[in-house]
Structure 1
Amino acid sequence: MTRTIATGRELSHPTREEIRLEGVLHALSDPVRLRIVRELAGDRDELSCSQFELPVTKSTTTHHFRVLRENGVIRQVYRGTAKMNGLRRDDLDALFPGLLDCLLAAAGRQFRRLGPGV
């Protein structure tokens, strides 16, 4: 799979055409990654990695963000020393209409029923 890789501190991301349904579903199948996506969906702005309070180590957090980025769920960019994260809602909605909204609604219902789970 080809990915556009820029120079410097820019990170590689799949193009819209490279995003695959099974990759998106894999990325969203983990409770920590789903929690990250729920937080990004609830906040229409970019959030830095440090703004997430996750019950895992820093290295595991880095892994989760990488899985989300490499599967086209989020876009990460450096702003100064902070790595900012944004949901690729436009790309996901164009490729898989209604999927993200359906998954987020189901995750919200599960959270209300069971609690955060992680």
Structure 2
Amino acid sequence: MQTQPRARTSGRSLDHPAPAEIRVEGVLHALSDPMRLRIVRMLEAAGTEQSCSVFDLPVSKSTSTHHFRVLRESGVINQVYRGTAKMSELRRDDLDALFPGLLDSVLTAAHRQDERLGEG
């Protein structure tokens, strides 16, 4: 497995765990929060990196920032600066290599829950 190169754009960089440092309990903790799971589902649906500004979350900006940080520090997402925008993308390849089927199982379970509760 390769380590994620540290992105350096506009002089700012963000710390990300290398794949060897990603722990299943950290990933599960990150995915256990409804807002963070919502972010992951949106990234999965988009299929490409997204600016943090496109996420319409019913929380304050500081809380949103916290959720993105937890996802990044647990190894679920990768974030880079592009100009003034902070771009986020799902680290699907790393997660699938480390924990085969985990992300798909969580996303499928979330979808089924939405259907069961009439939210999907």
TM-score of the aligned structures, taking structure 2 as reference length? 0.89
SS in 2 for 1:78: strand
Return the letter of the residue paired with 2:62.
Answer: S
**Aligned position for 2:41:** 38
CA-based RMSD of the aligned residues comes to 1.6
Residues matched between the structures, number = 113
Q: Which runs of 5+ in 1 are unaligned?
A: none
Shift of 1:109: 1.1
SS in 1 for 2:15: coil
Identity of aligned residues (%): 71
**Aligned position for 2:13:** 10
What are the equivalent positions in structure 2 for 1:34-73 lying under 5 Å apart?
Answer: 34-73=37-76
Provide the C-alpha distance between the structure 2 equivalents of 1:6 and 1:45, rounded to a whole number of angstroms: 16
Provide the C-alpha distance between the structure 1 equivalents of 2:85 and 2:39, rounded to a whole number of angstroms: 17
Runs (4+) of structure 1 exceeding 6 A deviation are 4-7
TM-score of the aligned structures, taking structure 1 as reference length? 0.90
Change (3 A) 1:6 1:49: closer
Q: 2:83 aligns with which of 77, 80, 85?
A: 80
SS in 2 for 1:53: coil
Q: Which runs of 5+ in 2 are unaligned?
A: none
Return the letter of the residue paired with 1:51.
Answer: V
